[in-house]
Chains A and B, each alone.
Chain A
């Protein structure tokens, strides 16, 4: 196997590169990132790894990447992990999230050596309402509300772009809808949310939230690389807990606030501190949750979340009568 990994200099990209370098079936890896040289420690050093700078928002660069180094190295799979981290929905984010994805897909289809395309999507593509199930399977409606934030609409469009090409070309396309990856520099809204000492949430609501670790996300990508068939799969994480407990495990003060005050308060925080958390992007999730049902990933990929988040604050002892009885299949 000879995969090409975009977004390789992100924490998720680095984790994927590491896990794939440990896979004996992977002969060689081509890693791409926006940086001229990968940041120190972002990527391991290996003779089986080639790093190539590539600005995927430029169609010419993407073309040259695939028909240059990828063709020379005999790349057979594109693992597209690069996404824009900002939730503000700029022109730049649309070019990377939507247009670059479409361009890469078309280029991959026209390069004969490439057989598979693995696209990293996210849980925010699903429409979360009070009437949606607590666990969202792959058949749930997507967030197509015109009032949805631009960044979310871009994620949905990119996801649908990949889905729309399933079965009409020779590429086997896999879309992995990852639960929130609780890590820095991943565009994780929850990560930004937890950067304040005091975490505000809507008064009277404390939804269940599922979070994914980098290790599990990387393991899911590796399993998708080995899977026989493509398709859409949700990738939940090993940790499912209420929003208030996430703040507590992070050592933050959980403060319920009347819902209408949250958006202006967080807008003010963004202006003053500059963090990227946007309440309007998360309003429904902060009321109704929206966890991923991972049964399909279990059946098709053999994926089971196995790496819980390394929480900064130790958990309080679990009461005797609720000792864990983990079950397979559904994201725990």
Chain B
């Protein structure tokens, strides 16, 4: 583990000129097949950019490890009452990747059931997490953002922060099947930013497993650190390995280990919650 400080990325588009128009496949009416609408995304970026730059002061390293084209799976840790960490990671990918790539975050199965939020997230490029959607996106060479911890990640108690929970293996199977590199991404700061005080498990709203009650009304301005690891490729394994549960679990464990190491390095390099 390297606990030393990493060199900061050169100033990216986040602090320079507006990003170039990202790749967008219009289905004919200003929306893509999944409902992404660049105009809505632009407005959301305009709102989110001050939060990204000035409130959470996101410090990003290793964005150059995101391939410029082709399918790629970004695998990150997950936490918080609401997915602010996902939003900051997606903003980072959108604003700093060069050429700019639209991240397609994979949401949990219940998200389409949530009125307003489900539709709004769809317009931003989020897709419902099911096999058909992710397969199609990878076939189209898109950049997927997945949180293999799922709800277990955001539901974990504060004392479990930065400990990966219930690691799903679907991302490894997809990487094997579609020959897509996996880029681990550690998000440091989110776990202290908006901890959950109480999880109301009886209040199953719109199919969500629980209703989070955050400890603070708004997220605390904890500084975010995003660290991208080296892409992990499984090209040495045959595509058929995607059907071998043991190999898939092994590959998923490799990704988990890489992410845990990144988190450890990020935590060791952090000088404080707000710096």
Contact = CB atoms under 8 A, between A and B. Distances in A.
A133 B24 contact: no
B219 to A, nearest CB: 24
A301 interface: no
A134 B116 CA distance: 17
A134 B128 contact: yes
A238 interface: yes
Contacts of B35: 134, 207-208, 242
Interface stretch (A67-75, A155-163, A181-189, A323-331): A323-331
Q: Is the interface of A mostly helix, strand, loop or mixed?
A: loop
Interface size class of B (residues with CB under 8 A): 35 or more
Interface stretch (B77-85, B105-113, B193-201): B105-113
B17 interface: no
A313 interface: no
A205 B30 contact: no
A322 B130 contact: no
A293 B137 CA distance: 13
Contacts of B29: 239-241, 245, 315, 318
A132 B132 contact: yes
A332 B32 CA distance: 8
Contacts of B37: 322
A135 interface: yes
B136 A135 contact: yes
B21 interface: yes
A332 B27 contact: yes
Contacts of B140: 327
Interface residues of A, number: 41
B30 A322 contact: yes
Contacts of B21: 320-321
Contact of A130 (B38, B39, B42, B207): B207
A318 B30 contact: yes
Interface in B80-128: 109-110, 112-116, 118-119, 122, 127-128
A148 B202 CA distance: 30
Contacts of A130: 109-110, 112-113, 128, 207
B216 interface: no
A204 B28 contact: no
B34 interface: yes
A273 interface: no
A39 interface: no
Nearest to B26: A324
B181 to A, nearest CB: 23
A203 B29 CA distance: 22
Contacts of B24: 321-322, 325
Interface in B246-267: none
B112 A242 contact: no
Contacts of A308: 28
Contact of A319 (B28, B39, B127): B39
Contacts of A330: 33, 136
Contacts, number: 106
Contacts of A319: 30, 38-39
Contacts of A315: 29
A137 to B, nearest CB: 7
A40 interface: no
B163 interface: no
A238 B112 CA distance: 24
A234 to B, nearest CB: 13
A207 B27 CA distance: 14
A304 to B, nearest CB: 13
Interface in A125-144: 130-137, 140
A325 B136 CA distance: 17
B28 A241 contact: yes
Given A132-B130, A240-B33, A319-B38, A325 B25 contact: yes
A291 interface: yes
Contacts of B109: 130-131
A206 B119 contact: yes
Interface string B153-196: 00000000000000000000000000000000000000000000
Contact of B133 (A134, A238, A287, A321): A134
Interface in A203-217: 203-208
A240 B128 contact: no
B26 A208 contact: no
B136 to A, nearest CB: 6
Interface of B: 21, 24-31, 33-35, 37-39, 42, 109-110, 112-116, 118-119, 122, 127-128, 130-133, 136, 140, 207
13 contacts: A130-B109, A130-B113, A133-B133, A135-B136, A238-B28, A288-B112, A308-B28, A321-B21, A322-B37, A323-B26, A324-B28, A325-B26, A327-B25
Interface of A: 130-137, 140, 202-208, 238-242, 245, 287-288, 291, 293, 308, 315, 318-327, 330-332
Q: Which A-B residue pairs are the 8 nearest by beta carbons?
A: A204-B115, A133-B132, A240-B27, A241-B29, A324-B26, A321-B21, A204-B116, A322-B38
Given A293-B136, A322-B26, 11 more contacts: A130-B110, A133-B128, A134-B35, A135-B136, A137-B132, A204-B116, A239-B29, A240-B29, A318-B26, A321-B42, A332-B27
